[in-house]
A and B are shown apart, each in its own frame.
Chain A
Amino acid sequence: MLAPNSNSKVTMTSAVSFQGVSRHYGSVRAVDEVDLEIREGEFFAMLGPSGSGKTTSLRLIAGFEQPTKGHIEIFGQTAEGIPPYRRNVNTVFQDYALFPHLNVIDNVAYGLMVKGVARAERARAAVEALALVQLPGYSDRRPGQLSGGQRQRVALARALINKPKVLLLDEPLGALDLKLREQMQEELKALQQSLGITFVFVTHDQGEALSMADRVAVFNAGRIVQIGSPLDIYSRPASRFVADFVGSSNILPPDIVRRLAGQDGWASLRPEMVRLTGTASDGALQARVVSTSYLGSTTRVTVDADGLRLHASLAAGTPLPAVGETVFINFDRQNLHIMEGEQ
């Protein structure tokens, strides 16, 4: 079981499909008319602020919620009306939801016990699953005796032992400290690639979504505002919301865009694409340095151009302007992205 699958190439089969799916609670539209295709074998991230509908969408796939409207298919089969225990989909919960009265082995083997697999057989499978998530030797511990990172691994093993067609992860790394989170990101990604299981990952951390996912759906107010590869989302945000939420961005209003680029509409300009020069070049925006903050590998410079606050992210080693100094803002034309979603 859980044999590594070297062929992790993303195919075009649809693992999960939402067609006009809504989930309303009274007048609150938690999920509103969402269309979505998650491909088999891909690492799919649902990114958005809290209350944007990403977790509700995940719960709709798991079966904890039923759609108010619309149609959900999992591997081509209708999912609405099917209870969670009849879906070959498993979840890693945000708070891990480990059973406190069972030890690690029994927690991991829970899914097999429910199916009536013999004790010896499921214990063997559980040990294997724990090895897969790199947590051997904790079999007899209770969840209460484990650290956050270890619980995370137990929760992962418990979900994977059922060999789900889709693995749902609800902000699984949220409770871990930064170092551990980065390590788990790499491990999760490697695990997904070796198993070839479709992962659906909910997070509010844009860095996490960009670094792990094959594709990202950005949620806002119950709707998906953009779906695309991390590169797409980051370099070509569809709207001001996406530009602002995914990384920080300089959002330029239409009048400035017309002046600088001769085009209509709102534009996004990533801070790392901004160059600050001391001498004027034609068309460059003049600004005054307001503050600088040192971030290690980069320094973030905040400038003020006639009331418009802009940020530049300067690589270490670049000469820094002094606060109060007048600078000119330069960038390559192709890095200025006009956002079609904003009119």
Chain B
Amino acid sequence: MSAASVTAAGAGAPIIMDGRRGPLGRLSDLFWRNPRLLLFLMLTPPMLWLGIVYVGSLFALLLQSFFSIDEFSGLIRYEFTLKTYGELFQPANLDVIVRTVTMAVAVTLSSAVIAFPIAYYAARYAQGKWKALFYLGVMLPLWSSYLVKVYAWKLILAKEGILNWLFAKLHLTWLLDAWLSLPIVGGNSLSFSYTGTFIVFVYVWMPFMILPLQAALERVPATLIEASNDLGAPPGQTFRRVIFPLALPGLIAGSIFTFSLTLGDYIIPQIIGTSRLFIGQAVYAHQGTAGNIPLAAAFTVVPVVVMGFYLWMAKRMGAFNAL
């Protein structure tokens, strides 16, 4: 029988086979016996990079913020002081912080509202070709240069730009003018208003909101939605009580991106918007021409603190309970 011949052929083979010879063979055996050694060797380089280069420089930055600048000589005085943090609360600087945080909140909320239906469609309905098209559509803007996109938007939003032309063709110029005449959000044209800055921020960070949201929604089994319907909840209630809570971790992940990216960006508000500064621009200005490294460092700490507070609040409100 065939079974017998298999046994017969196997009978001659040794039970323990010779390993691979040479130092590489011995190394394989060593790693097999000590998996932790392999892990240690693999993790050391990135940990050194992260620990020294990244955390180290962050720490150095934090340290800088506790120094201050001598107003007469313009030199940094290397003594521990909270004076620089005090400067943050001067009206001009506080303005910058409030402006930036308000913008970040507005951008994050709008991104979430716009991203949700897109992510929901991609997670629940899109299949095959349409899913590929979705990924392409969301990712494609990320592949082109950020500067090119921002300058493209400058042209779109300009007074002679396509958006103005479109409003004129639709006989809606009055609507645009009415909006631009509003205080704060208005301005000379869209490209010189906070509205313009806001639009470009929302456009540029949108993929960072859509992708985590889509991933979270994809993990919500369809039967949970059916179960909710089955137990008497119409679509609106099902959304509020099942879909939204389960998508919340993804929403938080996306909002961390949009929020912190807006807090730190200094290019977009410089190219599109008013001449008033955002945190990123303030950091850039203080560490550059002004040479006020301590104040620049103190400004940099603001987004870190704001984000920390945001995550703490999110956790307290149970945003991560579904994880």
Contact = CB atoms under 8 A, between A and B. Distances in A.
A111 B245 contact: no
A85 B227 contact: no
Contact of B231 (A64, A83, A90, A95): A90
A247 interface: no
Given A83-B234, A114-B237, A93 B223 contact: yes
Given A99-B228, A100-B322, A110-B228, 15 more contacts: A62-B226, A64-B226, A84-B229, A84-B230, A85-B230, A85-B233, A90-B231, A93-B223, A93-B226, A97-B221, A99-B224, A101-B322, A111-B231, A115-B232, A159-B231
6 contacts: A62-B230, A91-B226, A91-B227, A97-B226, A100-B322, A162-B231
A115 B234 CA distance: 10
B227 A114 contact: no
B241 interface: yes
A158 interface: yes
B246 interface: yes
A293 B321 CA distance: 53
Give chain B's interface secondary structure class: helix
B242 to A, nearest CB: 6
Nearest to B220: A100
B223 A84 contact: no
Contact of A158 (B223, B231, B322): B231
Given A85-B232, A162-B231, A100 B246 contact: yes
Interface in B223-271: 223-224, 226-234, 237, 241-242, 245-246
Interface string A94-118: 0101111100000000110111000
A91 B232 contact: no
A97 B224 contact: yes
A16 to B, nearest CB: 15
B232 A111 contact: yes
A91 B322 contact: no
Nearest to A103: B321
A162 B233 CA distance: 12
A95 B223 contact: yes
Contacts of B232: 85, 111, 114-115, 162
Interface string A218-231: 00000000000000
Interface of A: 62-64, 83-85, 89-91, 93, 95, 97-101, 110-111, 113-115, 158-159, 162
A334 to B, nearest CB: 45
Nearest to B238: A85
Q: 7 tightest CB-CB pairs across the interface, nearest first? A: A97-B227, A97-B223, A111-B231, A101-B322, A84-B229, A114-B233, A114-B232
Contacts of B321: 101
A63 B227 CA distance: 11
Contacts of A63: 229-230
Contacts of B233: 85, 110, 114
B128 to A, nearest CB: 15
Contact of A95 (B221, B242, B245, B246): B221
Contacts of A93: 223, 226-227
Nearest to B246: A101
Contacts of A110: 228, 231, 233, 241
A39 to B, nearest CB: 23
A63 B232 CA distance: 12
Interface in B128-158: none
Contacts of B231: 85, 90, 110-111, 114, 158-159, 162
A101 B249 CA distance: 11
Contact of A114 (B224, B226, B241): B241
A97 B233 CA distance: 15
Interface in B188-231: 221, 223-224, 226-231
A141 to B, nearest CB: 14
B247 to A, nearest CB: 11
Contacts of B245: 101
A99 B229 CA distance: 13
Contacts of B229: 63-64, 83-85
Given A114-B232, A158-B231, A162-B231, A84 B226 contact: yes
Contacts of B223: 93, 95, 97
B286 to A, nearest CB: 45
A158 B232 CA distance: 12
A113 B234 CA distance: 13
B231 to A, nearest CB: 4
A91 to B, nearest CB: 5
Contacts of A83: 229, 234
A261 B231 CA distance: 55
A99 B227 contact: yes
Most B CB contacts (10 A, CB to CB) among A63, A114, A115 go to: A114
Nearest to B249: A101
A30 B54 CA distance: 59
Contacts of A90: 230-231
Contacts of B226: 62, 64, 84, 91, 93, 97
Contacts of A64: 226, 229-230
Instruction: Determine which residue in B227, B228, B241, B242 has the highest number of CB atoms from chain A within 10 A of its CB, and name it.
Output: B227
Contacts of A84: 226, 229-230
